[in-house]
Every structure is written in structure tokens, then in C-alpha cells.
Amino acid sequence: MKLTDLPTGRKARVSKIVLESTGLETKLREVGFSEGDEVEMLAHGPFGGRTLAVRLNRSIIALRGAEAAMIEVEEIS
Amino acid sequence: MSAFRLALVGAPNSGKSTLFNGLTGGRAKVANYAGVTVERRSGQFTTPAGRSVELIDLPGIYGLSARSLDERIAVDVISGREGIEDAPDALLVLIDAADLRTHLHLALQLKALGRPMLLVLNMIDLAERDGVVIDVAKLEQRLGVPVVTTCATRKAGRVALLARLDELVAARPMNEAANGAIADLRSVQHEARAIAREAILREPAMNKLTRAVDRVVLNPFAGPFVLAGMLFLMFQAVFTWAEVPMTLIESGFGALGAWVSAVLPDGLVKGLIVDGVIAGVGSVVVFLPQIIILFAFILALEASGYMARAAFMMDELMLRVGLNGRAFIPLLSSFACAIPGMMSARTIENENDRLTTILVAPLMTCSARIPVYTLIVAAFIPPRTVGIFNLQGLVMFGLYLAGIVSAVLVAFVLKRTLTRGRPQPLLMEMPTYKLPDPRDFLINLSMRAWAFLRRAGTYIFWVSVGLWFLASYPRSASGIRDTFAGMLGSWLEPLLRPIGFNLEIAIALVPGLAAREVAVGALGTVYALQSTDDTAGLAQALQSAWSLPTALAFLAWYVFAPQCLATLAVARREMNSWRWTAFMVGYLLTMAYVAAGATYWTARWAGL
């Protein structure tokens, strides 16, 4: 599933970063997203919630739905 | 032998500037959010072995692709590009030890550049407190570069670093530069993860305190209330806690004026000191407590780690305006002063978004407006209670709100006309919460307070002296209109008369173009000359001289007017364009004129 579909409070592993635009992929990777990393949905932003707060390993990253949709994850049950 | 040039490189908020300050004794601004440092800065220090080192502090980078202006500055220096300066002799690479896994790939990318480097796992104390255990020897062996752990805030935490630095300076081991194209980011990342798996022995889940606080702060329902409450508390504090010290300072200056009047013989010197200097400088220095409280709040917010959360909360709304959530940090800093606000807009990648942010930053109510607002509100708005609120507080809040709302509207219009562009992605790290370091906090605060006092002691002092002469001569003058200042002011007066401004305001606005609070000092001098009571404050003088519509129009003018030369100079530098600067001045002046006029005539019509 996409990172955007991960419900609040659930954990997952990054399985793939979709190659849609190389510029964006570089940005996501530089900030730290990589295959196998653990992510957790911490919160959806207020006023409509398109901005997400995601835990990546031990860091917290804020990103928008458009970017998060490029990250494929597998939920850890 | 010339100094060894060492560049500080690392992800944003990894503690580079703190280490820089610790090693060089510098006073670079440090805070707990990504993007505090947006320029190159250098300082000197001597290693224990006696080697002189030039340390270069740089904006944080996540990789070498450098999209935003601040990142380009860093990458240009590291790679010695553009022939401006040579590449540094070595790199001091910082990584936050608390999340080595996420950030290690930057170290591999930097190593591939081939320069000698020393990897520093910073904030090791906080990582260890969280329960993170790193096998440093293993990391060093796998990476093939020296690795050292530090706690940049403490001297003891830097000892090991300095020792290893001497080894590095002596040996200068070059790393093998990647030949041809640097390996693609994906494989670099995977290599970094493999190393991290071996080197990280224990890695518990994220910081517990941060998780607990964020459960409330990032909550989509509670979060906005936390933000609103925080801002409300800040303004409440600025305008109520400051009352007592302000009254003390005011009566202090009043007593000083009275004492000087009694001691000195009547004449030129007495007039100059009492009506010029004491009235002018005193009417501005009174506001020091408010300035200190405001800066204390903003510094505490910046140091705690909350700033990035505030930006997160506002992102959706900013997106609808057409801006990036990241623009919220520059705009929030602009409540202190638009200059650092405009500079921190460098972290915004998209040029059009950065430009828009700079253009609207002066609409945020900066601290220099506080003296103006407080003076007029205290003099003209009765301290009545409206519901549960104080009317003065409501007017003050309204002035701040007017600035914010117009910034939003202007940005909205600009993003659809002159600075059009697709919404840009937001990718922003939210730091672990930290208690502000008391020493840093006090140094920063005293620097701010000192800057305010220095301006009162230099610029406002001379304006007061100059204005006193201009408004006192020729001696034959029967009223202010016949003095030199009055003659100058009367040229502007016809232009300002339609928006309800009188001659005294016209006179005060001219020196007030240089900085907003100067107008208060200038009004202080002009009205002190016309009054006979040396202990009466400026507020009483204004009450009898201005009508309420004039006072309200003056407030409306100050919401918009670009009266700060320093801001305009920085805006020109940051936008690198005279045309955009002229546009900014033009639109702000137009809005100021229209708003003041509309306020004046509405108030007149309403019979106020």
C-alpha cells in the first residue's frame, strides 16, 4: 500500500520508492527514506489533513500527501 | 603556514552551529529546527597541538543535490566550486547520533568527494539517554574514516574531537574519490543501511517525551488550539507582564527630566537635554521590557523544537494560499524582525515561493511596531472590558491580525499573478524536543536587548538632538509651524492631510522612515517642545493633540508602511532585484495610505 493509506498509529516498512520524478525521488532519499526502513503514521495535519507527520526510523518527517503517495510500504502487523 | 580550513557539514539541525560556537567562541544563532543557519560563517581556533584552524560553519544539507539557496551555499563551499574559494582542507561531518541510520548516507556521499574527513556523532549524550548504543570502532572500520562522539554543547564533550582533529590535520588522509559519476543515491543508501545495521547495537523506539508531547501537539483537533494558545499567551505576556517595568522606566525618565530641569539653568543646554534627549530616547527605551518578553518567547519556541510543529499545523492553510508550510517559520520569525525572517526564507526551494514569502514578510507585526502600537493604544483606547476581553488588548490583537490577514491576501494574489507556480513539496524534519540551553538563551536575549538599546542610544539619540534643533529654531518662531522642522514637514503635510495626519506626524515620519520606533522618539521630542510639564509622558501629550480618527489612522498606517531601511536593504539583497524591492515599497506604501485614509474617514463618519 501507499504510505498515504497507512492509518494513524500503524507501523510499516518502506518497500519501494516509486519512480515518478527523479527530482522528488532524490529528495525523499536524501531526507532519509529508503527500502527496508521502518515508518509509522503519527498524525494527519488539521484542516483537511493532506500534510502527514511520519516517523522514519527515529526521526519525524512532515510531508504532503503527494509526496507520501510515492512511497510504497508494507504494514507490520 | 596558513590556517587549516575545516568545513562543518551535516544534516540540518545536527548541531553544527553549536559546535562552531563551542570551538571558536562565536555567537552564531542556534536553535532547534532545520534551517537556522542560512549563510557561510567562519571563525578561528587553535587545536591542543597548536595548529591554527579556520572553521567554516555552513547551512545543513541532506545530500549533494542542493535545491534551495541555503543548500547551494553549503555545497558550493564544500566542493570549492565557482572559483570563489578553494575547497576546504578537510570536512568535519556531523550526524545526530540519535538517528544514525537515517542520516549515514550523507557521510558516504561526502567521503566519495575524496577530501580528508572526520565523522562526528553529535548529541551522543541524548542518544545514550534514549538507549541508543553505537559501536564506534565498528563504524570507523566499516566507513574507513575516523569517527568520534561528542556533545557539542559541553567543553568536556569536545575533548576527544579535538584530539582526533589534530591527527587529521597532521596526516590529512585523502579518501579515495569516486571515479566518474558518484554512485547513485539508492545504492549509497543501501550501503549506508548495511553499515548502520552492523554499527548500531541497540536502537529503541523514538524519544518518549517527544512522542508524548506530539500526541497532543500534532493532534489534528488539539494541535491548532495549542498553537493559538501559545500565540495568545505570547501576546498577553508582552502586553501585561511588561506593564510594571515599563511604568518604572517611564517614571524614571520623568524624574530624570524633572531633576535635570531643576538643576540646570534655563537655556539651550537644558532644552536640548530635557526636551531633546530625555524625551526622545526615553520614549523609546520605555518599550525595552516588551521587546525582551517577545524575544524571550520566540527564542524559547525556536529552541524547544516547536517551530517545525507550528509549520506543520499551518501547512494545509499555507497550501491553500499557494505557499509552502515551510514559509511559516520565516513568517513567524518576522514577528520579531523581518530581517532574519527574510533570510530564513532561503530554506524555501522554489524561487517564486521564496520571493512571495519575502514580499509579505514586512506585513508581519515586527517588534519595532510594538512601541508605536502600545503608545497609541494606551493613549486613545479606553481600558474597558468587552465581554471577557480588554478593549485595548482586542485592538492590539486586531492590529496583529490585520497584518496576518493582509499577508495572506497579498500572498494569495501574488501566487496567482506575479509569482505563479505549482505548489511545492514539503519535506521537513521535526526535531526531538529539547530544553533550551540557558546560556545560549541568555546570550541571544541579551544580544537582542542590546541591539534595541544601542539603536536608542545612537540613531534615536541623534535624531532627537537633530530634531530638537530643527524644531526649536529659528528662535523667533511662534509655533512649531515656523521652525525649520515645521517648514520641512509642511511640504509633506498636504499629502498626508487627506488621511488625517497633522504637521507633527509629518515631521516624525521623515526620520521614522529609517526605523519604525524612531517615529516614537521623534514624536517624543516634538511634543516635549510644545509642553510645559517635563514629567508628563508622550501619551498625555498625544491625547490632547490628536483626534481619535487621527490616532486610528496612524495605527492603520503602521500596519503596512515599509518604514525600515535595514529591512529594505536586506530585501534587495535577498531578492537580488531593485525592481522587486521597488514593487514591495510601492505596494506597502499604497496599502498604508489607503488603509489610513479609509480608517480616518470611516472613524470620522462614525462620529468617533
How do residues B29-84 score in pLDDT, each as one tens digit? 888 888 888 888 999 999 999 999 999 999 999 988 888 889 999 999 988 876 66
- Above pLDDT 70, what percent of chain B? 97
Taking the Cβ of residue A29 and every Cβ of chain B, the question of whether any pair is shorter than 8 Å is answered with: yes
Q: What is the pLDDT of residue B94?
A: 96
Interatomic CA distance for residues B424 and B413, integer angstroms: 17
What topology does CATH give the domain B4-206?
Rossmann fold (3.40.50)
Bridge partners of residue A61, in order along the sequence: A54, B429
Q: How far A61 CA sits from the closest chain B CA (Å)?
A: 4
C-alpha angle with apex B117: B111 to B118, nearest 5 degrees?
120
Burial class (CB in 10 A: 0-12, 13-18, 19+), B265: exposed
Considering CB atoms only, which of A43, A57, A67 is closest to B427? A67
Instruction: Answer yes or no: do B220 and A46 touch at CB < 8 A.
Output: yes
Residue with cell 517614571: B251
Characterize the bridge pairing of strands B90-96 and B4-10: parallel
> Mutate which of B206, B208, B317 to test chain A, going by most A C-beta atoms within 10 A?
B206
* Residues of chain B contacting residue A67, judged by C-beta atoms under 8 Å apart: 425-427
Residue B333 has pLDDT above 60, yes or no: yes
With a cut of 70, say whether residue B577 has pLDDT above it: yes
* pLDDT: which is higher, B526 or B121: B121
- Flag if A62 and B105 touch (Cβ within 8 Å): no
Q: Give the per-residue pLDDT at B86.
A: 82
- By Cβ distance, the residue of A28, A37, A43 closest to B220 is A43
Instruction: Specify the range with the lowest mean pLDDT, choosing from B102-106, B205-209, B386-390.
Output: B386-390
Contact A29 B312 (CB under 8 A): no
Q: Looking at CA atoms only, how far is residue B89 from chain A in angstroms?
A: 25
Give me the phi and psi of B252, to 5 degrees please. -60, -45
- Which pLDDT band holds residue B579 (cuts at 50, 70, 90)? very high
Percent of all residues in chain B with a pLDDT value above 90, rounded to a whole number:
41
pLDDT of B474 strictly over 60: yes
Say if residue B535's pLDDT is above 70: no
Q: Do A64 and B319 touch (CB under 8 A)?
A: yes
| B79 in A contact zone (CB under 8 Å) | no
Amino acid of residue A58: R
pLDDT (tens digit per residue) in B281-292: 888 888 889 889
| Neighboring chain B residues of A46 at a CB cutoff of 8 Å | 220-221, 223-224, 313, 316
Q: Which residue has the higher pLDDT, B240 or B579?
A: B579
Q: Check residue B266 and give its pLDDT.
A: 83
Whether A2 has its CB under 8 Å from any CB of chain B: the answer is: no
Helix axes B185-199, B136-143, angle to 10 degrees: 150
Chain A nearest C-alpha distance from B605 (Å): 39
The pLDDT of residue B418 is above 90: no
Q: Compute the average pLDDT of residues A20-29.
A: 81
The confidence band for B457, taking pLDDT boundaries of 50, 70 and 90, is confident
How far apart are alpha carbons B54 and B4 in whole angstroms? 6
Q: Which domains does chain A have, with CATH numbers?
A: 3-75 (2.30.30.90)
Q: What is the mean pLDDT of residues B342-349?
A: 88
Q: Tell if the CB–CB gap between B426 and A64 is shorter than 8 Å.
A: yes
Which among B96, B189, B309 is the top mutation candidate for probing chain A, defined by the most A β-carbons within 10 Å of its own β-carbon? B189
Q: Is pLDDT above 90 for B456?
A: no
pLDDT digits (tens, 9 = 90+) for B77-119: 988 876 667 889 999 999 999 999 999 999 999 999 888 999 9
More confident residue, B399 or B81: B399
The band of B537, judged by pLDDT with boundaries at 50, 70 and 90, is confident
pTM: 0.85
Inter-chain Cβ pairs, chain A and chain B, closer than 8 A: 127
Identify which of B132, B312, B425 has the shortest CB distance to residue A53.
B312
| DSSP 8-class letter at B34 | T
In chain B, residues 416-455 whose CB comes closer than 8 Å to chain A: 425-431
Q: What is the mean pLDDT of residues A2-23?
A: 88
Residue A48: list chain B partners with CB under 8 A: 316
- For position B183, what pLDDT does the model report? 67
Q: Which chain B residue is nearest to residue A62, measuring alpha carbons?
A: B428
Q: Do B102 and A57 touch (CB under 8 A)?
A: yes
Domain ranges in chain B? Answer: 4-206
- List the one residue out of B567, B585, B580 whose CA is nearest residue B342: B567
Chain B: residue whose CA lies nearest to A9: B215
Hey, of A19, A30, A39, A47, which one would you mutate to test binding to chain B, going by the most B CBs within 10 A of its CB?
A30
Mean pLDDT over B232-252 rounds to 85
**Interface contact A69, partner B, CB < 8 A:** no
User: A16 and chain B: CB distance < 8 Å anywhere?
Assistant: no
Residues of A in contact with B65 (CB under 8 A): 26-27, 30
pLDDT tens across B243-290, in order?
889 889 988 988 998 898 888 888 888 888 888 888 888 888 888 898
Chain A contact for B315 (CB, 8 A cutoff) = yes
DSSP H helical ranges for B345-425? 351-360, 369-380, 391-416
Number of H helices, E strands in chain A: 2, 5
pLDDT in the model for residue B430: 93
Please list the residues that pair with A14 across neighbouring strands: A73
CB contact under 8 A, B220 and A58: no
Q: Does A3 touch chain B (CB under 8 A)?
A: no
Q: What is the DSSP string of B470-507?
A: HHH-STT-SSGGGSHHHHHHHHHHHHHGGGT--HHHHH
Q: Which residues of A touch B317 (CB under 8 A)?
A: 47
B186 in reach of chain A (CB within 8 A): yes
Taking the CA atoms of chain B, what radius of gyration do you get in angstroms? 28
What gap in Å lies between CA B68 and CA B96, rounded to an integer?
22
* Angstroms from B207 CA to nearest CA on chain A: 8
The pLDDT score that the predictor gives to residue B321 is: 85
DSSP for B509-536, please give it.
Answer: HHHHTT-HHHHHHHHHHHHHHH-S-SSS
Among B214-228, B351-365, B411-425, B492-506, name the one with the lowest average pLDDT. B411-425
Average pLDDT for chain B: 88
* Model confidence band, residue B19 (pLDDT cutoffs 50, 70, 90): very high
Please report residues of A whose CB lies closer than 8 A to that of B429. Answer: 31, 59-62
Average pLDDT, chain A: 90
The model's confidence at residue B358, banded by pLDDT at 50, 70 and 90, is very high
Q: Residue B66: what pLDDT?
A: 83
Answer yes or no: do B429 and A51 touch at CB < 8 A: no
Compute the Cα dihedral for B83, B85, B91, B94 and give only its sign: negative
pLDDT given for residue B516 in this prediction: 87
Q: Do B221 and A45 touch (CB under 8 A)?
A: no
